[in-house]
C-alpha cells in the first residue's frame, strides 16, 4: 500500500502536467505528510523537498526535490531534518524463531555444539551470531554423544527454535537440516557421502555425521 502510494506520488510529481495541477508547494508538502521512516522506496521515488529536509545518504536532488538514489528503506530524522535511504543489502539481519540458518560448528562438548551463524535464509550476514545446539535437538532418534554427529569446522544448516539474550537455540531434527559440508578430522580433506557415512578419499577414514539430505550439494 505504502509502496504503491510512493510510486504513484513520484510519478505524479515528476510529470510536468501533474505538477502544474498540484499548484503550490504547500499542497505538495501536504501530500507528503504521510511519509514515515522504514518505507520501502526505489530509485526516483520522491522523498521530500529541500526546504523541508536535508538530503542524506542514498538520495539526490532534482529541481529542489529529494529523491531516492537506491532501493531501500527511508530514515526520516525529524530532529536534524534529514532524509536518507538505507540500502536493503546493508540492513542488519537477525535470526528469528523459525529462521533457517547456515553456520559453522566452532566447538563441541558432550551435549552442546556451538555454531557461528553466518547466513540467514539466503542472505550472508555481516554480524556474528552464536547458535547453540543441544543433543536433544539433533535428531528424532536417540543420540549418544554429539561427537558422533558434528565436528568443529563442519558447515551445518539448522532451524532457530528459540532465542534468549541473542543466543539462538538450533535444531537439526528435520530431514533437510544437518551437516552440509564436513572435513576429515584426520587430514582435513572434504568428506564424501557414502550411504549413511562419510568417507575421506585422501586417507580412507570413515566418519559419522548428522548430515542433511543435500549433503555436499548446497551453495553457501
Q: In whole angstroms, how close is the CB of 184 to Zn ion at the nearest point?
A: 3
For Zn ion, the closer of residues 49 and 182 by Cβ is: 182
Shorter beta-carbon distance to Zn ion: residue 21 or 189 = 189
Closest CA to 71 of 87, 55, 47: 87
Nearer to Zn ion, 32 or 191 (CB): 191
CB of 199 to Zn ion, least distance (A): 9
Size of the site for Zn ion (CB under 5 A): 8
Contacts to Zn ion from residues 170-199, by CB under 5 A: 184, 186-187, 189
Residue 124 binds Zn ion (CB under 5 A): no
C-beta closer to Zn ion: residue 67 or 181: 181
126 binds Zn ion (CB under 5 A): no
Closer of 93 and 199 to Zn ion (Cβ): 199
159 to each of 40, 149, 169, 179, 194, how far by Cα in Å?
A: 28, 16, 8, 12, 25
Which residue in 11, 18, 91, 203 binds Zn ion (CB under 5 A)?
203
Residues found near Zn ion in the complex (CB under 5 A): 184, 186-187, 189, 200, 202-203, 205
Amino acid at each position: 500500500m505504502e509502496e504503491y502510494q510512493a510510486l504513484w506520488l513520484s510519478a505524479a510529481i515528476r510529470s510536468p502536467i501533474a505538477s502544474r495541477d498540484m499548484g503550490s508547494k504547500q499542497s505538495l508538502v501536504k501530500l507528503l505528510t504521510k511519509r514515515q521512516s522504514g518505507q520501502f522506496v526505489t530509485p526516483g521515488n520522491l522523498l521530500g523537498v529541500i526546504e523541508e529536509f536535508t538530503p542524506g545518504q542514498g538520495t539526490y536532488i532534482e529541481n529542489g526535490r529529494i529523491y531516492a538514489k537506491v532501493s531501500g528503506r527511508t530514515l526520516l530524522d525529524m530532529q536534524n531534518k534529514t532524509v536518507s535511504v538505507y540500502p536493503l543489502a546493508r540492513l542488519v539481519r537477525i535470526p528469528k524463531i523459525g529462521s533457517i540458518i547456515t553456520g559453522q560448528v566452532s566447538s563441541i562438548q558432550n551435549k552442546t555444539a556451538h555454531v557461528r551463524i553466518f547466513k540467514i535464509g539466503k542472505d550472508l550476514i555481516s554480524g556474528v551470531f552464536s547458535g547453540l545446539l543441544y543433543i536433544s535437538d539433533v535428531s528424532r532418534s536417540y543420540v549418544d554423544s554429539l561427537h558422533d554427529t558434528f565436528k568443529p569446522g563442519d558447515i551445518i544448516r539448522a532451524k532457530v527454535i528459540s532465542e534468549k539474550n541473542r543466543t539462538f537455540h538450533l535444531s537439526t531434527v528435520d530431514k533437510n537440516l544437518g551437516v552440509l559440508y564436513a572435513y576429515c578430522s584426520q587430514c582435513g580433506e572434504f568428506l564424501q557421502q557414502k550411504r549413511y557415512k562419510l568417507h575421506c578419499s585422501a586417507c580412507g577414514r570413515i566418519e559419522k555425521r548428522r548430515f542433511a539430505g543435500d549433503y555436499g550439494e548446497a551453495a553457501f
